[in-house]
Amino acid sequence: MSTANPQRVKERRRDRRNGHRVDGTPPKPAGPVGTGRERRGDLASQAIAPLKHFLTLREGSIIVITLITMIYFSVSVSGFFTAGNFKTLLPYFAPYAIMAAAEVFVMILGEIDLSIGAMYLFTPFWWHIIHHAGVPLYPSIILALMTSMAFGALNGLAVAYIGIASFVATLGMQFFLYGLTLVISHATPVLTPGTSQATINGFAQVFGGGTYSEFFWALGIVIILQIVLTLTRWGGYTIATGGNRNAAAEAGIRTRHIIVRNFILAACLAGFTGILESVRVTTMTPDPSGSGDILFQACAAAIIGGTLMTGGAGTVVGALFGALFLGVLHDGLIIKGVSANYLDLYLGIAIIIAMVANVYVSRVRRTAGHG
């Protein structure tokens, strides 16, 4: 049986009185008052950091506003969140999304294309004439779109090389195409080529006649254009040209070619959207007022989606959600039974609110250093 060392026992007692551990090492210093509270605050900050980052994205504000609008109508209107209503909603907003995506590439340059509504109206009638002249269905679509691209090139040449303001150049093209459409159509509705009012054939199923075909076209085009804008030289040169055209030219970017190319893209997609819509409704009516409405809706979708009219920044995905917001708002107000006299009033108020949110988010982005 061993006996403890008296000296060692005294040292242990002294250590306990001084607050030291049994092995003689000093204890860890106590944390300052409030450490636990600060730690909880840090955890809370880390938890909401992804939300703050999301809201500072260009698309963040319009996505949140769209979701809030959908939740509101889902709660207040029984028939909103149904499969039948989505069959109506998706074809409604898809054309706006395609044309808004095209307009984004023009607006990033600091320009605007007012002729896309007239191009949307003209191209289906020109396609009808080409097809009835004996050209097969698909080649006639290609020729019609090539004609639209030629008009888009004229817009780009007028802006980039002659120096005409895009507002004036495309406004003139708009009136020209409206008049040309009325002349070639004789102001008479016609049946869309390749369609039937009785059945939906395979061609119509793909090119707008199917329930969700326009939505899938819109989704595919938006994805492709967003990739082009963010991951290719074309997109980078577009942003650089819109941000500072002189500096971009001095850096070796062929800014005039970029301008012409983007106007061609806008005209092509506007004409293609017109073809999709004409196939969906199976008839074409030469109505400039309807195409004027889709022009303003597309421009509004691009702007509230986060694209700057001053140029240098924009997002195709934001244009998609901007179009979805307008579609949800229009659809929800109609289901809610709002009078047609008040419909545009409420749409205008909602667009202004969405723009205020975008301006606020833009300021937060600049403060946070996101540009």
Query: For 202-256, how does the pLDDT look when each residue is reduced to its tens digit (9 = 90+)?
Result: 888 888 888 888 999 999 999 999 999 999 999 999 999 998 898 999 989 999 9
Q: pLDDT category, 126, cuts 50, 70, 90? A: very high
Q: pLDDT category, 286, cuts 50, 70, 90? A: confident
Is residue 130 within 8 A of residue 329, CB to CB? The reply is no
Query: For 9-65, how does the pLDDT look when each residue is reduced to its tens digit (9 = 90+)?
Result: 556 666 555 555 555 555 555 545 455 555 655 655 565 556 556 556 667 778 888
Distance of CA 368 to the CA centre of its chain: 23
Distances 333 to 70, 339, 347, 357 between C-alpha atoms, Å: 11, 9, 9, 21
Does the structure show a pLDDT above 70 at 308? yes
For the record, the structure tokens of 75 come out as 């709660």
Query: For 94-107, how does the pLDDT look when each residue is reduced to its tens digit (9 = 90+)?
Result: 999 999 999 999 99
Query: For 319-363, how does the pLDDT look when each residue is reduced to its tens digit (9 = 90+)?
Result: 999 999 988 888 888 888 888 788 788 878 877 887 787 777 767
Phi, psi of 211 (to 5 degrees): -55, -45
Q: Write down the pLDDT at residue 48.
A: 59
For the record, the structure tokens of 103 come out as 């307009």
- When the pLDDT of each residue in the chain is averaged and rounded to a whole number, the result is 83
Q: Write down the pLDDT at residue 290.
A: 79
Q: Using the structure block, give the residue that is written with the tokens 């667009």.
A: 351
Q: Write down the pLDDT at residue 282.
A: 87
Q: Write down the pLDDT at residue 309.
A: 81
Distance, CA of 72 to CA of 75 (rounded, Å): 5
Q: What is the mean pLDDT of residues 114-139?
A: 94
Q: State pTM to two decimals.
A: 0.81
Residue percentage of the chain with pLDDT more than 70: 82
Q: Which of 21-25, 83-87, 188-192 has the lowest mean pLDDT?
A: 21-25
Distance, CA of 137 to CA of 146 (rounded, Å): 15
Q: Write down the pLDDT at residue 181.
A: 93
